[in-house]
Amino acid sequence: MSKGIRLTKADQDISDAASDEFYIDTDNPLLKLYKASRGSQHFNGTLNEFYTITIPHNLGYRPMYFLFADRIPGAKRRIVTNIDNSIGNPSIFVNLQRCDTQIIEFTMGFLGGTPLSGDYGYNYFIYYDSLDSGYDNV
């Protein structure tokens, strides 16, 4: 006996549609967004100017997340990882510091090059989906 709900894309036969032709298939759960927001950090544009930005989530486990930050004020936003590999100018260094059961934390700052002053934007998406639980397949 099969239980569940399936919703196919337009013009697809639900009886033989491939898995990626469903909008919804309860055999394959959807991403669940917990929190999404944005912010910015003002930089005066001096060497060794660093800021730590903390995003609380308090979920009690490490969640799936995406974090994006500007490379120049208001532009060149890209995903933040554990180590930044930006080279030359603009020289802002964005580095993921923590992703734990309560917070996600990253630093932004200038190590060298020619710092640009201005407001550096960032945005993030945090999901209910855990990085720690679910040792079995979905």
Partner 1 sequence: MTKGIRLNIKGDVSSPDIINDQWTSEAVSPKFLLQGPGSFTTDASGNGQDTVIHGLTYSPAYLFYVNPCYSGVATPASKWGIIDNVYVGVDSSPELITIYTAGAQPNTTYHYYYFIFVEPAAT
Residues that bind partner 1 (CB under 8 A): 7, 9-10, 19-20, 22-25, 28-31, 62, 64, 66, 79, 81-83, 85, 96-99, 129, 131-132, 134-138
Closest to partner 1 by CB, 44 vs 87, is 87
Closest to partner 1 by CB, 9 vs 42, is 9
- Provide, rounded to whole angstroms, the least separation between the CB of residue 106 and partner 1: 10
Tell me the C-alpha distance between 135 and 50, whole Å: 38
CA atoms within 13 A on the CB side of 107: 14
40: helix, strand or coil: strand
Closest to partner 1 by CB, 44 vs 88, is 88
- Provide, rounded to whole angstroms, the least separation between the CB of residue 28 and partner 1: 4
Closest to partner 1 by CB, 73 vs 126, is 126
- Provide, rounded to whole angstroms, the least separation between the CB of residue 129 and partner 1: 7
- Provide, rounded to whole angstroms, the least separation between the CB of residue 42 and partner 1: 26
Residue 61's CB: how many other CB atoms inside 10 A? 14
**Could you write out the DSSP letters of every residue in 37-91?**
EEEEEEE---TT-EEEEEEE---SSPEEEEEEE-SBTTB--EE--SS----SSS-
